[in-house]
Amino acid sequence: MSPSDTAVKETAFAKLKRLAQRTQAVADQERCELCSLVVPSQHRHLLEVATRQIICACDGCALTFEGVIGGRFKLIPRESRTVPDFEIGDAAWENLALPINLAFIFHNSTTGKFTALYPSPAGAMESLLPLDAWSGFIAENPLLAQMESDVEAMLVSRVDSARDYFIAPIDVCFELVGLIRTQWRGLSGGDAVWREVGNYFERLRATTGVASRMEAARA
């Protein structure tokens, strides 16, 4: 094979490689799961209530479900808020018998009850204990009663000395579940996963507003 033939072959291979890379890049783009439109990295999510699956949506499809009550899908809100006035004592927390000091609690419209989930290496796990005690906490913290069923949750971190409480969109809560699931190593998780958990809550604190009892009283 002559040098010119080799050069032509290499050029053709390079073109095919670039074409394959562009094709893969297009295939890897996130798309709206309702209309297949390509969506940016920051896009809206919907919750399919019956299956509790979170799906990606373009703005057009997402806004179709804004304010819809009793439909198949619910639009997940974007805003997270810290709840500095919320308190749960150590004894009350221990009564929930959660194996990890991270959890999120939301009102499940299908069952009509509050549900507590905690992240684990196997994904989101549901607490098997009844959460009737939460009615008392809701009475003492009326802001919690304003959480939108299914798509907003009380996100709790009591890792080490932390006592952080947020009202967060459900997709933000499941982001923490995904982090734990992919980063957990060994029996205790390993140092890396807890660094990532710390970074997760730092980012959350940096992007949240503040919800207080005073705001709840005005609402």
Per-residue model confidence as pLDDT tens for the chain (219 residues): 555 554 444 565 565 555 455 544 444 589 999 999 999 989 999 999 999 999 999 999 999 998 888 889 999 999 999 988 777 878 878 877 788 899 999 998 988 888 889 999 999 998 876 666 666 667 777 777 889 999 999 999 999 888 999 999 999 999 999 999 999 998 888 999 999 999 999 999 988 877 654 444 444
CA pseudo-torsion sign 209, 179, 36, 15: positive
Kindly list the strands in the beta sheet with 53-57, ordered across the sheet, starting from the edge strand earlier in the chain.
Answer: 53-57, 44-48, 73-75
Among residues 151, 138, 46, the alpha carbon closest in space to that of 106 is found at 151
Reported as type and span, the H/E element at residue 63 is helix 59-64
Start-to-end Cα distance in the chain:
80
Residue written as tokens 């297949």? 36
Q: In one letter, which amino acid is 134? A: W
Q: How far apart are CA 111 and CA 18, in angstroms?
A: 52
Give the pLDDT confidence score for residue 218 in this predicted structure.
Answer: 40
Q: CA angle, corner 172, sides to 219 and 149, nearest 5?
A: 45
Is the separation of the CB atoms in 73 and 95 below 8 Å? no
Is the separation of the CB atoms in 66 and 75 below 8 Å? yes
Coil, strand or helix: which one is 167? strand
How far does Cα 20 stand from its chain's mean position? 33
What is the pTM (predicted TM-score) of this model? Answer: 0.78
